[in-house]
Amino acid sequence: MKTLMQAAFAAGAFCLAASTALADPAVVYDAGGKFDKSFNEAAYNGIEKFKAETGTSYLEFEVQADAQREQAFRKMAQRGADPIIGIGFSQESAIKKVAAEFPNIRFAIIDSVVDLPNVQSIVFKEQEGSYLVGVLAALASKTGKVGFVGGMDIPLISRFQCGYAQGAKAANPNVEVIGNMTGTTPAAWNDPTRGAELAKGQFDRGVDVVFAAAGGTGTGVYQAAKDAGKLAIGVDSNQNHLQPGTMLTSMLKRVDVAVYESAKAAKEGNWKPGVTVLGLKEGGVDWALDEHNKSLITDDMKTKVEAAKADIVSGKVAVHDYMSDNSCPM
Amino acid sequence: MSGAPQVALPRWVDIGLMPVINLVQALLVAGLVVLVIGVNPIDAMRIMAWGAVYDSVAISYTLYYATDFVFTGLAVAVAFHAGLFNIGGEGQAYVAGLGATLAILLLDGYLPGILLIPIGLIAAMVFGAGWALVPAYLQAYRGSHIVITTIMFNFIAASLMVYVASDLLRAPGDMLPSSREFAPAAYLPHVHDLAALLGFQMHSTPLNLSILWAAACCVFVWVFIWRTRWGYAIRAVGLSPKAAVYAGISPKGVIMVAMCLSGALAAGVALNQIIGYHHRLLLDFVAGAGFTGIAVALMGRNHPVGIVLSAILFGALYQGGAELAFEIPTITRDMIVAMQGLVILFSGALAYMNRPWIARLYAMFDRRAVLAEAA
């Protein structure tokens, strides 16, 4: 009996140790799940690109409950994964704790800042990308009213909204911006039904272009726009292909690039801790133009949005950051 | 099934064999699901079982999850002894978290932990019991069915907590809907901290001293239900309200007491999660423990010993499930939920599905035994 137990223990230990990987990167997705067509999926695409290019495999985990966050990071660290990339601001407290326990392992967090010597914090200037799609929205609007549907009501999403409003006003000072948030809980990231309702409400008030910064909720917004013959703007990933002919453009937040760069830098030995801010200048945010929306973007619009982009990059135009003072002057 | 002999089964069959058969059936079906996606089910089961126990960290996580299930399992069991099906453990535990949070947020600048933690726990129990009180009153005095009202109260609790966490307690500029973090004095000590004091090195895990409170609750429930007048009244009402009235017991009072106790037991989840681990109010911190508690109580046959055993089993399923998702990427977290759901289905909803054929089988063997004796 005793030897049998020992054998069982050994077999179990073996099966847990078998897949131990050293210095492979790891990704911990947020509760939205890696196939959310938006934020987390962008991270997935980034790490897949890294895998395809370097042939290095990676570890991954999708968080299901808050209690698992810390556990996931610690397990990755015990496996020797490096760097360990946490997707989303919700991972902040878990990374703070685990990164302090494993000072020799490199961590990265997207969308939040953790001030530790072995953590790279990657944040985006969402306001700059939103400014550009705001310019396009105002130029495309015939009614002079543009809409915004946010996901969860948090400062980060207000940052999108504020940049969008500023861009729209820059292109057309008389434009009216109507905004709604989907909700106040994480469920707001994945509520397409409510997204569609909010969009319809805005269409009834005269809006004819709507920008959704709402994760999975956006799909409902785009569908509503298609049904009503209006225009919509996607977010995070390039979502132009979701409803061709309806999608005016997408505000790109290159989470994929951030994840890819972090993993690659660690592999090549030029990884740096600290805060990395990715704006228009760094290619961290942008607007999307491809075969699905080129018929909707006129040459005039393209010229104007590229001019706005150049102005932001050169510093001639400063886009207000909502999170700097928790208010929007628009 | 009417032809099945209604023999009284011995206790070891009822509380030992039948839950094991339920579990095996659930694992067989789960194994088929795993097989369909092309993973060897034996490997998957081994990782899941091993992942729950392979070292002190895994065991700690298993016990940490199990602690929640003991509280909610006891909550369901106490109400069940009074003939009440309390589906509201989820909402009661959730609102209890609000009680604990409010008490600690108010006082953590002034009091030491030795006072803060008990006050937080008492506040949690008062809030949990209070949330159970309304459905209890409606059942006792208005005849509204407790199953319906407790389910509805779960939804009300969820909406209330969203409002509180995102509109009242959230710090300005904070992304997460949550309260501020408590002062360290209000942290219930972790088991690994205590181990360090005693000179053992343990990895940091969420396991905390609420496990002792869970043990105390088990003893209390056993004494209360089987060794006190109140417990006798509760069991009498549960078995037959009319007979209880004849014996001079008021079912109304019993319903109120049983439900308040149930809510106060569910409040232990707030001790484990809010005071013991997160140290602040988070949305959805109960994470389904209230519903899992129903299966835990059914599988544990509403007895504290059975509840502890089935809570550990479910804790192991949660911890092992996380390991499985970690080890085999093709098994997604949604599949883990499905596998846990199968175990809940077979050991909870279908707990007595096997009774007829087991009874028939048992009767056959029993007759043989009798005949052998006669010969």
Please report the residues numbered 162 through 221 in chain A whose beta carbons come closer than 8 angstroms to any beta carbon of chain B. 184-186
The sheet carrying A59-62 orders its strands as A59-62, A26-29, A84-87, A107-110, A119-124, A274-278
Closest partner residue to B322 (CB to CB) among A71, A97, A326 is: A71
Using one digit for the tens of pLDDT, what is the confidence trace for B127-143? 999 999 999 999 999 99
Task: Tell me if chain B has a CB within 8 Å of the CB of A323.
Answer: yes
How many CB atoms sit inside 10 A of residue B2's CB? Answer: 5
Residue B262 DSSP SS3: helix
Q: Enumerate the residues of chain B whose CB falls inside 8 A of the CB of residue A16.
A: 47, 50-51, 54, 323, 327
Interface test with B, best of A154, A321, A326 (most B CBs within 10 A): A154
* Domain locations in chain B as residue ranges: 61-313
CB within 8 Å: A72 and B326: yes
Element housing A248 (H / E): strand A247-253
Which residue is closest to B272 within chain A, CA to CA?
Answer: A67
CA distance B178 to B164: 9
Which residues from B are below 8 Å from A when comparing CB atoms? 43, 46-47, 49-51, 54, 61, 64-65, 162-163, 166-167, 172-173, 175-177, 203-204, 206, 273, 277-278, 282-285, 287, 322-323, 325-327, 329, 332-333, 336-337
Please say if the pLDDT value at position A12 is more than 70: no
Taking the CA of residue B229 and the nearest CA in chain A, the distance in Å comes to 40
Interface test with B, best of A5, A9, A15, A112 (most B CBs within 10 A): A15
Q: With cut-offs at 50, 70 and 90, classify the pLDDT of residue A14.
A: very low
Please say if the pLDDT value at position B1 is more than 70: no
Q: Enumerate the residues of chain A whose CB falls inside 8 A of the CB of residue B273.
A: 67
For residues B69 and B16, the model is more confident at B69
Please say if the pLDDT value at position A198 is more than 70: yes
CB within 8 Å: B175 and A71: no
CA distance A15 to A94: 27
Q: With cut-offs at 50, 70 and 90, classify the pLDDT of residue A21.
A: very low
CB pairs A-B closer than 8 Å: 77
Please say if the pLDDT value at position B181 is more than 60: yes
Are B278 and A66 contacting, i.e. CB atoms less than 8 angstroms apart?
A: yes
| B61-313 carries CATH number 1.10.3470 | yes
Using one digit for the tens of pLDDT, what is the confidence trace for A241-281? 999 999 999 999 999 999 999 999 999 988 999 999 999 99
Taking the CA of residue A184 and the nearest CA in chain B, the distance in Å comes to 6
Candidates B283, B346, B282; CA nearest to B314 is B346
CB within 8 Å: A326 and B322: no
CB within 8 Å: B46 and A33: no
Q: Give me the pLDDT at residue B372, please.
A: 59
Q: Give me the pLDDT at residue A52, please.
A: 95
Torsion of CA A306, A307, A310, A316, to 10 degrees: -150
Could you give the domains of chain A? 2-125+256-278 (3.40.50.2300), 126-253+284-325 (3.40.50.2300)
CB within 8 Å: A66 and B172: no
Taking the CA of residue B7 and the nearest CA in chain A, the distance in Å comes to 37
- Most distant CA pair in chain A, distance: 83
Q: Enumerate the residues of chain B whose CB falls inside 8 A of the CB of residue A66.
A: 278, 282, 284-285, 287
Facing residues of A146 across strands? A177, A209
Cis, peptide link before residue A83, omega less than 30° from 0? yes
Task: List phi, psi (to 5°) of A208.
Answer: -125, 0
Are B293 and B71 contacting, i.e. CB atoms less than 8 angstroms apart?
A: yes
Task: Tell me if chain B has a CB within 8 Å of the CB of A75.
Answer: yes
How many CB atoms sit inside 10 A of residue A198's CB? Answer: 27
Q: Enumerate the residues of chain B whose CB falls inside 8 A of the CB of residue A185.
A: 162, 166, 177, 283
Handedness of CA B242, B244, B249, B251 (dihedral sign): negative
Please say if the pLDDT value at position B124 is more than 70: yes
For residues A43 and A330, the model is more confident at A43
Closest partner residue to A12 (CB to CB) among B50, B204, B322 is: B50
What tokens appear for A70 in the block? Answer: 């810390």
Taking the CA of residue B106 and the nearest CA in chain A, the distance in Å comes to 23
Q: Enumerate the residues of chain A whose CB falls inside 8 A of the CB of residue B337.
A: 64
Task: Tell me if chain B has a CB within 8 Å of the CB of A67.
Answer: yes
Q: Give me the pLDDT at residue B174, please.
A: 74
CB within 8 Å: A16 and B173: no
Q: DSSP states of A11-62 as a string?
A: HHHHHHHTT--SS--EEEE-TT-TTSSSHHHHHHHHHHHHHHHH----EEEE
CA distance B294 to B296: 5
Which residue is closest to A156 within chain B, CA to CA?
Answer: B175
Mean pLDDT (chain A, rounded): 90
Please say if the pLDDT value at position B370 is more than 70: no
Q: Enumerate the residues of chain B whose CB falls inside 8 A of the CB of residue A60.
A: 329
Q: Enumerate the residues of chain A whose CB falls inside 8 A of the CB of residue B322.
A: 64, 68, 71-72
Q: With cut-offs at 50, 70 and 90, classify the pLDDT of residue A17.
A: very low
Q: Give me the pLDDT at residue B30, please.
A: 92
Q: Give me the pLDDT at residue A85, please.
A: 96
Q: What is the mean pLDDT of residues A97-104?
A: 93
Using one digit for the tens of pLDDT, what is the confidence trace for A271-312? 999 999 999 999 999 999 999 999 999 999 999 999 999 999
Closest partner residue to A155 (CB to CB) among B51, B175, B285 is: B175
Using one digit for the tens of pLDDT, what is the confidence trace for A121-150? 999 999 999 999 999 999 999 999 999 999
Closest partner residue to A185 (CB to CB) among B166, B327, B329 is: B166
Task: List phi, psi (to 5°) of A88.
Answer: 105, 150
For residues B120 and B287, the model is more confident at B120
Write down the residue that tokens 């934020």 correspond to: A39
Using one digit for the tens of pLDDT, what is the confidence trace for B154-175? 999 999 998 898 888 887 767 7
Taking the CA of residue B326 and the nearest CA in chain A, the distance in Å comes to 6
Taking the CA of residue B245 and the nearest CA in chain A, the distance in Å comes to 46
Using one digit for the tens of pLDDT, what is the confidence trace for A149-191? 999 888 889 999 999 999 999 999 999 999 999 988 778 888 9
CA distance A5 to A292: 62
Q: With cut-offs at 50, 70 and 90, classify the pLDDT of residue A4.
A: very low
Measured CA to CA in angstroms, residue B167 lies from A68, A182, A253, B11, B171 at distances of 26, 15, 28, 52, 9
Candidates B347, B362, B352; CA nearest to B24 is B347
What tokens appear for A124 in the block? Answer: 């985006």
Which segment of A136-140, B110-114, B152-156, B201-205 scores lowest on mean pLDDT? Answer: B201-205
Facing residues of B4 across strands? none
Closest partner residue to A61 (CB to CB) among B163, B166, B325 is: B325
Q: Enumerate the residues of chain B whose CB falls inside 8 A of the CB of residue A71.
A: 61, 322
Task: Tell me if chain B has a CB within 8 Å of the CB of A54.
Answer: no
Interface test with B, best of A57, A66, A84, A324 (most B CBs within 10 A): A66
| Alpha helices in chain B, H assignment, sequence order | 11, 18-36, 41-51, 56-81, 89-107, 113-142, 146-163, 191-197, 210-227, 229-239, 241-246, 251-266, 268-270, 289-299, 304-327, 333-344, 355-374
CB within 8 Å: A15 and B43: yes
Q: Give me the pLDDT at residue A22, please.
A: 58
Task: Tell me if chain B has a CB within 8 Å of the CB of A53.
Answer: no
Q: Enumerate the residues of chain A whose CB falls inside 8 A of the CB of residue B50.
A: 12, 15-16
Measured CA to CA in angstroms, residue B107 lies from A144, B104, B124, B165 at distances of 53, 5, 14, 19
